[in-house]
Amino acid sequence: MKRLLFIIIICISVLNAFQSCQKDLGNYTYTDFDTLKIGGIDSSYLAYNEQSFKIEPNLNLSSGGKVDPSNYTYEWYTINQSSTVLNGDKKKVLGNKLNLDTVISLAPANYHLHLRVRNTSNNTLSEFITKLSVTSVLSNGWLVLSSIDGKSRLDMLNYNLTTFKYEFYQDILKNFARTEVEGAPKLVMFLNDRDAIQSKYVNRIYVGTDKTTISFDNQQNTWTDFRNLRKEIFRATPEAYHAEVIQPVGGGKNMCYILDSEGVLMHQNVTQNMLYGSTINRLNGGVRLNISKFIAPYYGNYSAYAVVFDKQNQRFLVHNSTNYTLLIPSSSDPELFTPEDMKMDLVYMERVLTATNQFYALLKNPTNNRLKLVRFTHDGTVFNPLAVDDIENPYQMESAEWIAADPTFGYIYYTMGSKIYQYDPFNKKHSLALDAGTRRISKIKFQKLAYIIGNSRYNEFAKRLIVCTYDAISPNTSGKMDFYDINLSGAPKLAESYSGFGKIVDVCYRE
């Protein structure tokens, strides 16, 4: 009986408490919360890497009341949508003011862009999310390395896929990479290779001076991921270490040769476990050989193959496949051509991409300066001579400052002062091709494609003679790069011309 009475008392108490709460609710007047609204932001944006980017949003209260921006804190940040990005790298803060005004330093990708606004008085949070697609304003085009008062400046003629024209961007290293390289300029080279450190295929750009060489991971067309060449070399190197020559195998093959400032010839083929560092310019068991800067890879071959020249012993040598040493070649016609004992100095050598893909080697008799042109193909380490010709030399070809071979017709172009001469090796005839007048010639070349070989536009400009000139009175501002179409007969015809450079030292195409 007592237990039943206790339960009844508890029930009555609970009922009274509930009724009291109902009465208490009637003592308050409730209104909707005055929320913050964020406007002036589009549903999506396109931004260019390393270019300015601005958004100016507006804040309003749902009640129509006035907003004091100083009562809030702000955070703009992006979230990378790629599943391959580590969690720690997914979020990046862009700014802490209401108006976003920044330079985008994000890899080309798709992002969610957040604006988070916090009320400092009541700690309430409002957030707006939009889409941000980042691309690069610099994609493919001509990389032009100039000397400006003895220092290096890298410019770019970027090809606009909308207007089909090149747009000039000055000082890529300063304005896009936020860096500079010490020393006088030597080379710029684009190649596609397999990175030995990260073991991934990557588009890489090397920029070299007489004091250093840096390489950029340009896979995403960005310029912020770079390193010193010394980090790619698997041996100890001195402080001023740099590349003298970088020569990709080309044709989309991920292999490359480097001749460095220590006189070491190296070859990299990561797939075959060959890395930069080992000295390959030696014979089996021998000492390091002093080889010429003219390195002629067998362009586009599936395995490594290159012809080099031993300057001291006046002989051709071959690097083949994954060998860590050079091989001595022989000749299919030793009475005509003895590559292992030329008794001449090398003036120029190149693999020339004519219909009969062949090597050109221009040699000079050290006693009388007479020239000889050897053209040959190869079968392994056996050289097959196509022609071994003495050259009548009316224009002092042996002292040419620049030499380049035309990949279409097989002509040789060489410079003396402000003039460019053409040598026809088939008819054995010299002729004046171009006269730059008062301007000086700083470079001539034909561009070899390192990676993309099927693009018709690329193939078209690869046939053109590139002539770089400058005015000696104003070398820092007068640099020009002209492109000439080559004809079977008659002088080369100017096709395109670009100015605004310094004294051009080297050019290369970023494919």
Question: Tens digits of per-residue pLDDT, 282-303?
Answer: 999 899 999 999 999 999 888 9
Tokens at residue 362, please?
A: 């221009």
**Residue of higher predicted confidence among 252 and 125:** 125
Which residue spans within 270-344 are E strands per DSSP? 296-297, 305-310, 315-320, 330-331
Q: Are 245 and 309 in contact (CB under 8 A)?
A: no
Look at residue 203 and tell me whether its pLDDT is greater than 90: yes
Mean local confidence (pLDDT), 371-377: 98
pLDDT band at 48 (very low <50, low <70, confident <90, very high): confident
**Measuring CA to CA, how many Å separate 124 from each of 33, 71, 75?**
11, 11, 14
By DSSP bridging, strand 403-405 and strand 358-364 are unpaired
Look at residue 5 and tell me whether its pLDDT is greater than 90: no
Mean local confidence (pLDDT), 194-202: 88
pLDDT band at 224 (very low <50, low <70, confident <90, very high): confident
pLDDT band at 9 (very low <50, low <70, confident <90, very high): very low
Give me the residues paired with residue 265 across strands.
259
Tokens at residue 473, please?
A: 């009175």
Mean local confidence (pLDDT), 139-161: 96
pLDDT band at 87 (very low <50, low <70, confident <90, very high): low
Domains in the chain (CATH in brackets) are 36-136 (2.60.40.10)
Q: Are 340 and 315 in contact (CB under 8 A)?
A: yes
At residue 197, the pLDDT reads 87
pLDDT band at 86 (very low <50, low <70, confident <90, very high): low
Look at residue 436 and tell me whether its pLDDT is greater than 60: yes
Per the confidence metrics, is the pTM higher than 0.95? Answer: no
Number of other residues whose CB lies within 10 A of the CB of residue 416: 16
Task: Please spell the DSSP secondary structure of 91-136, one letter per residue.
Answer: EEEEESSSSEEEE----SEEEEEEEEEEETTT--EEEEEEEEEEEE
Which residue carries 């609970």 as its tokens? 14
Residue 456: enclosing H or E segment and its boundaries? helix 456-461
| pLDDT tens digit sequence for 168-197 | 999 999 988 989 999 999 999 999 988 888
- Report the residue count for the chain: 511
What's at 130, amino acid-wise?
T
Which DSSP letter does residue 67 get? Answer: P
Give me the residues paired with residue 253 across strands.
250
Distance CA 421, CA 434 (A): 7
Look at residue 482 and tell me whether its pLDDT is greater than 80: yes
